[in-house]
Amino acid sequence: MRVPALIALVMAASASCGWAAEAPNRSLLAPEALPRLPQRLVELGLEALKAPDWLVAIGSFAAAAGTVVAVFLTAFALLSLIERKTLARIQNRIGPNRAGPFGLLQPVADGIKMLTKEDIVPTKSEWFLHLLAPVMIVIPSILALGVIPYGREWVPVDLPLGLLFFFAAGTMTELAVFIAGWASGSKFPMLGAMRAISQMVSYELPLIISATSVVMLSGTLSLSGIVEAQAGFHLGFIPAWYILTPWGFVAGVIFLIAGNAESNRCPFDLPEGESEIVAGHMTEYSGFKYALFFMGEYLGLFAISGLGITLFLGGWQPPLPGLGFVPSWIWFFGKLAAVIFFFLWVRGTFPRVRIDQLMRFAWLCLIPVSLLTLPVAAIWQYSGKGALGWLLCSAILLVPFIILTVRFNRRMATNNRRYTFAE
């Protein structure tokens, strides 16, 4: 029981740090502002109680945080089920369908299982750090989620430095992974942690660099500003999303790959590669802490895909001109589902990548290309975003792509292994 209380406390502390947050007060029940409903209710309640306004501010923040947590916890539960279902379908099997109709209650079953499992703490480990690690994994994801604009009306916390905040929070996960690995005392978690950290550090670079190209063009670090920059339509029906620009497409793809690696998923899920290092830095955890790790991972996934959507898929912008009536957050969560499905799809199909190929892919392929997108974006900006821009940018981007892919195909091919049977 201690863990959820801790989460709430940390949320309150961050809120109470007095970040400037204007709470626009519009009609409560407008569909657009649905997600803001609880926050508004709390504000009204406190004002009714004539609490001092700092108390009011704190209350509203708490409500906002609460809604975000609630929404994404349920999403987490659903996602664990959906993921297993999709993987099963990909592998031509059904997936969990025993617990509840179509296996809907499977997450509940998992949750109960996690809760009832005994919480083992290894003697050689540092108990406090061992406890702190899962918490530190979950917190950045939640912080990140708090910054992403879900709808025109609703951005839990709208920071002028939203993107910077997101990445700052993102870096904490590496420290958390280290602590998890180191604190559990034994060698496997340590090795797993070191591998995870080196992977995350390597893939953070392309992530940030591809994001900077977006920042360069949209001229602002605040995420809502970026979404507004993607409003409008080219040629009447093509939404002005960055993904649909040559550099944007490349940056977007790199962002998604890096995001995938950042959250240690599928092709890059080396850290907890079951076959080699048992569960990587999570081997010594059991029970609810182990669940927290999973929660952290999935929330991280949500955060990364959310950011990807806001940066490249135009956030809550409707894909077509005529759809203004639909509440903006519906578009956001639709895109979110699509991206999540993409990740699940990737997980189901791609083989695991070896650590040196992974590192070499990051440093020799992603980073150079992402660095290239910056000048290309500049060119796009000043070439009038028209056909000329397309032509130039695509030309510039295709050359390294071809070179790299040709070389990589040769280089990446797994050299034939010589199996020596034990005499």
Q: Is residue 189 within 8 Å of residue 293, measured between CB atoms?
A: no
Q: Which residue of 32, 174, 269, 272 would you call a contact of another protein, by CB under 8 A?
A: 174
Please state the φ and ψ torsions of residue 312, each to the nearest 5 degrees: -110, -30
Q: Is residue 140 within 8 Å of residue 169, measured between CB atoms?
A: yes
Q: Is residue 21 within 8 Å of residue 317, measured between CB atoms?
A: no
Q: Which residue of 21, 23, 161, 278 would you call a contact of another protein, by CB under 8 A?
A: 161
- Given the rule CB under 8 A, which of 14-22, 88-96, 150-158, 229-237 is the region that contacts another protein? 14-22
Q: Is 182 in the site for another protein (CB under 8 A)?
A: yes
Distance CA 238, CA 318 (A): 11
Q: Is 160 in the site for another protein (CB under 8 A)?
A: yes
Residue 206's nearest CA partner among 252, 170, 143, 171 is: 252
Q: Is 175 in the site for another protein (CB under 8 A)?
A: yes
- Of residues 55 and 320, the one with the C-beta less far from another protein: 55
- Of residues 122 and 160, the one with the C-beta less far from another protein: 160
Q: Which residue of 66, 131, 167, 348 would you call a contact of another protein, by CB under 8 A?
A: 167
Distance CA 33, CA 23 (A): 12
Q: Is 378 in the site for another protein (CB under 8 A)?
A: no
Q: Which residue of 49, 168, 320, 395 would you call a contact of another protein, by CB under 8 A?
A: 168
Distance CA 188, CA 151 (A): 43
Query: What are the structure tokens assigned to 128, written together?
Result: 């406090």
Residue 221's nearest CA partner among 146, 160, 145, 308 is: 160
What's the min distance (Å) between Cβ of 340 and another protein? 26
Distance CA 142, CA 148 (A): 10
Burial of 389: CB neighbours in 10 Å, binned 0-12, 13-18, 19+: buried
- Given the rule CB under 8 A, which of 106-114, 156-164, 339-347, 414-422 is the region that contacts another protein? 156-164
Q: Which residue of 61, 178, 242, 285 would you call a contact of another protein, by CB under 8 A?
A: 178
- Given the rule CB under 8 A, which of 155-163, 291-299, 350-358, 368-376 is the region that contacts another protein? 155-163
Categorise residue 145: left if φ over 0, alpha if ψ from -120 to 50, beta otherwise.
alpha
Residues that bind another protein (rule: CB under 8 A) add up to a total of 26
- Of residues 106 and 173, the one with the C-beta less far from another protein: 173
Q: Is 197 in the site for another protein (CB under 8 A)?
A: yes
Categorise residue 2: left if φ over 0, alpha if ψ from -120 to 50, beta otherwise.
alpha
What's the min distance (Å) between Cβ of 104 and another protein? 39
Alpha helices by DSSP H, listed for 283-386, are 288-312, 328-349, 355-360, 367-382
Q: Is 185 in the site for another protein (CB under 8 A)?
A: no
What DSSP string runs through 4-60? HHHHHHHHHHHHHTT---------TT-GGGGGGHHHHHHHHHHHHTT--HHHHHHHH
- Given the rule CB under 8 A, which of 178-186, 292-300, 390-398, 406-414 is the region that contacts another protein? 178-186
- Given the rule CB under 8 A, which of 11-19, 97-105, 290-298, 379-387 is the region that contacts another protein? 11-19
- Of residues 77 and 179, the one with the C-beta less far from another protein: 179
- Of residues 145 and 344, the one with the C-beta less far from another protein: 145
Hunting for tokens 């080219």 — which residue is that? 234
- Of residues 205 and 278, the one with the C-beta less far from another protein: 205
Q: Which residue of 32, 43, 158, 204 would you call a contact of another protein, by CB under 8 A?
A: 204
Q: Is 7 in the site for another protein (CB under 8 A)?
A: no
What's the min distance (Å) between Cβ of 190 and another protein? 7
Q: Is residue 231 within 8 Å of residue 319, measured between CB atoms?
A: no
Distance CA 230, CA 245 (A): 11
What's the min distance (Å) between Cβ of 171 and another protein? 3
- Taking residues 16 to 55 in sequence order and writing x for each that binds another protein by CB under 8 A, - otherwise, the string is -xxx------------------------------------
Q: Is 361 in the site for another protein (CB under 8 A)?
A: no
Q: First and final CA of the chain: distance in angstroms?
A: 54
Distance CA 162, CA 225 (A): 10
- Of residues 55 and 388, the one with the C-beta less far from another protein: 55
Distance CA 369, CA 314 (A): 22
| Number of C-beta neighbours around residue 409 at 10 A | 9
Which residues here bind another protein, judged by CB under 8 A?
17-19, 126, 129, 159-161, 164-165, 167-168, 170-172, 174-175, 178-179, 182, 190, 194, 197, 201, 204, 221
